[in-house]
Amino acid sequence: MTLHSAVASNTERRWDADVPLARAATMTSDEVLHALVSGPDGISGADATSRAATTGPNAVHSHRVQGWRILARQLRSALLVLLAATATISFVLGDHTDAVIIGSILVASVGLGFVNEYRAERAAQALHAEIRHTVTVMRDGGAVDVDVSALVPGDVVRLTLGAVVPADLRLLQTNGLACDEAVLTGESLPVDKHTSPVPAGTALADFTCCALMGTVVHSGSGAGVVVATGMHTEFGRIAAGLSQRSPETSFQAGLRRFSVLLLQVAVVLTIGIFVTNLLLHRPLLDSAMFSLAIAVGITPQLLPAVVSTSLAAGSRQLARYKVLVKRLVCIEDLGDMDVLVTDKTGTLTDGTISFRAAVDHTGADSTEVLLRGLLATDADGQAGANPLDAALWQASHPREETTAYQRIASVPFDHERRMTSALVRDPQGASHIIVKGAPESVLARCADVPAEAHTTLDRFFAQGIRVVAVAGRPAPAATSLTAADERDLHLDGFLAFLDPPKADAADSLHRLARLGITVKIATGDNAVVAAKVCGDLGLTDTRTLSGTDIDALDDTELAAAANAATIFARVSPEQKARLVRLLRRSHVVGFLGDGVNDALALHTADVGISVDTAADVAKDAADAVLLEKDLGVLADGVTEGRRIFANTIKYALMGTSSNFGNMFSAAAASAILKFLPMLPSQILLNNLLYDASQLAIPTDRVDAEQVAAPAHWDVAFIRRFMLVFGPISSLFDFATFWLMLHVFHASPALFRTGWFIESLATQTLVIFAIRTRRIPFLRSRPSLPLTLAVAGAILVGALLPLSPLSHLLGFQPLPIGFFAALAGMVIAYLALIELAKRAFFTRRAAHPPAPHRRGHTHHVQRRAGRFSYAGRPVPNTTGIR
């Protein structure tokens, strides 16, 4: 039967949409294919489209922006709800004007926050769209790459080393296939896979004929037919039982602690003001509305919008720098980093490895060593996953001679042995074992190593040349090969390769150093070679720890040694992860890696960084993906992260100090005046104008010293700042009170108008002093959007008493003399702020960030990011809530 007729026949039969994985595991491969109306060559594209309409996308959640959810977050504030309820009661009782004004201001405030957060969410959705996840499947008789979310039951999927299994598969063929199933079972050891059915009643962990969604191909290759997708998979059921929100970062923890601080202050002021007004026998409703307005006023309602706007703008800027972040908050994580652990190949070096020489143990050129090295690589010469083997196959003259040899068996490379071996039969019919790998590993398995061999090795290492040793022995009776056969070898010689340093790597290292980031190298290469490359790039401190050294130290000893060392040579994946974990005790650690062997360390690091060409499992474990494997690109990302954090802190400092000062002034005035110092609607309008002007903070310039080192949330520092600078603001509020009462003999309406404009001017203009530790404007210029936004807010506030809305808002035109006095007070206020700023910042003590909490749940949520799509929310069909 032709392929075309087979596909047509399959399409005519009805496929079984309900083949549970447990049943498929007990069936033979042919039985599963028959039930799914599929075959070894998969299904047709038309059939896949038809099945997708039944099964839905192969996804466990959606990253589609939902406006109603964002709006719900805006309305979640209990203070806003209480104030809206109070305004409604006021309207019902006949106070229509104030109720409508308060309602309008609340709607404007919610709308402003909604628009900005919606734009940020759209930016986050765009980030998801930038990072595509595809899988190779058989459709219409050929291999094609399709989006992971487009998989359907019946698709035949190819599995290769490092791939994340895209759905629940019944395996059809395997070649040394083993899968890491820790994401499902928590077990760290890989599970060997085969195609034989398992008995009925076998536990999920023992489904050795199946590859499960979310697990990783640890070794070998294979192919399988999709049995279940999306929420119908075992991984989907686990993901459905978890919150989609990832564990909070140190930045998010800082935001939460900051919000708690504001809530505490708001509660104290609100209760105090409410009780005071009741004791002064003021109307209950007026007292409640005034107290709630004070609470809303001290709470920076637009802080989430400011943060989201900053992060969204930062993500767009980072995309121009060729850095993609998985979540917007990851930008802040980049800025937190003060230690970077990275591999050597492709970051410090060009990553283009060239073959230089094949020599015997004395260092003399040897074509025989080159031939034997070729025989221990892939027989077809397509060793794309191994750049050393790929470079070796570019050698010209002995390449054709390999066709005269027959490969009988092989043992692939792994990170424990650091070798690969082959059993071959030569043209005369004699069998040989040939071993090729790291010199230390190969020499340890040789029966006798000539002294000249060590001299040759040392000479190559001193030149920064990477070396692979080749050894072997006759094996006349052998028909199979295992790692235990790699013994009693005779050293043939060495293969030499060169990977020169990158031309711009030295400059990138200097940039990172200026950012306060210590770079440490974790490599599988020889320590001397790594030290030579580092020395060529200007890294003079090349203290080294080898994998053997690491195993000999306990955690306390290794933590101290790791802080002192710059190079970690011949390290295994587990050793990398252990190093990162111990460095995190005293640093915020970033790890840059792109291989299967880097996934453990990427998960362990505070900031996991990978590249667009990395293995699937490495990209999944990363927080940020570089479109170029370049430390200069990473330096751009760190700078942007710190710039965003600096601007966020500006808003927090200004909001707590000026809001606290103004609300403290309102509380004091309400206790001594016979009338409310400001109407609830005026307080809310003041807060709205002030917050709206600060939405331009994300555009502000940041001084060089603010990005020279990591900065972290320090709530104790913010509290001290509030208690120092808030009362300074109140001093000028009290001066305004005296001016209005004793100079202008103000009525309640005139008093409220004067204080409204003065408080708006002082709390918005103070940003120019708080935004920098330098002299404002002279040594540190703000951005033009921020300058215009602040000026615009003050202008609107000054014109409101002259507008047709003046009477409705309870305002009254002010005398010209007030503005002259206001100008003097603003100048004096900003001068006093400058003096206080200089004294305050000399006493600041930084606090380290809270460590990130990363466990198995975090691992599952990270992996689930691969199985998301930009469509409607995925229905939870698992019954888990």
Catalytic center residues: 343
Return all residues near 734 (Cβ < 8 A) that are at least 6 apart.
665, 668
Quote the CA–CA distance of 738 and 750 in Å, as a whole number: 13
Quote the CA–CA distance of 674 and 666 in Å, as a whole number: 13
Secondary structure of residue 603 in the 3-state scheme: helix
Q: What are phi and psi of 728, to 5 degrees?
A: -60, -40
Residue 273, token pair as written in the block: 């003001």
Contact 41, 225 (CB under 8 A): no
Residue 352, token pair as written in the block: 């283009």
Return all residues near 149 (Cβ < 8 A) that are at least 6 apart.
57, 58, 59, 867, 868, 869
Quote the CA–CA distance of 76 and 74 in Å, as a whole number: 6
Quote the CA–CA distance of 372 and 494 in Å, as a whole number: 10
Quote the CA–CA distance of 590 and 520 in Å, as a whole number: 10
Q: Cβ atoms within 10 A of the Cβ of 776, count?
A: 19
Quote the CA–CA distance of 706 and 838 in Å, as a whole number: 16
Q: Checking DSSP bridges between strand 868-869 and strand 61-62, what pairing results, if any?
A: parallel
Cα 351 to Cα 500, 503, 549, 629: the distances in Å are 8, 12, 27, 9
Residue with tokens 């509660």: 267
Return all residues near 255 (Cβ < 8 A) that are at least 6 apart.
303, 307, 713
Longest dimension (CA), the chain: 116
Secondary structure of residue 589 in the 3-state scheme: strand
Quote the CA–CA distance of 483 and 442 in Å, as a whole number: 12
DSSP per-residue codes, 834-873: HHHHHHHHTT----PPPPP---HHHHHHHHHGGGEESSSP
Residue 222, token pair as written in the block: 């294979």
Query: How many helices and strands, by DSSP H and E, does the chain display?
Result: 33, 24
Amino acid identity of residue 697, one-letter, is: I
Residue with tokens 């000249």: 452
Measure the CA angle with vertex 773, ends 771 and 775; round to 5°: 95
Cα 363 to Cα 359, 686, 752: the distances in Å are 5, 82, 92
Contact 559, 585 (CB under 8 A): yes
Strand-pair partners of 222: 159, 174
Residue 54, token pair as written in the block: 């039944």
DSSP per-residue codes, 218-283: EEEEEEEEEEE-GGGSHHHHHHHTS-SSPPP-HHHHHHHHHHHHHHHHHHHHHHHHHHHHHHTT--
Contact 625, 131 (CB under 8 A): yes
Residue 350, token pair as written in the block: 């060009």
Residue 83, token pair as written in the block: 């104030």
Contact 637, 610 (CB under 8 A): no
Q: What is the dihedral of CA 111, 117, 123, 128, to 10 degrees?
A: -120
Quote the CA–CA distance of 176 and 191 in Å, as a whole number: 11
Secondary structure of residue 803 in the 3-state scheme: coil
Residue with tokens 């050393």: 388
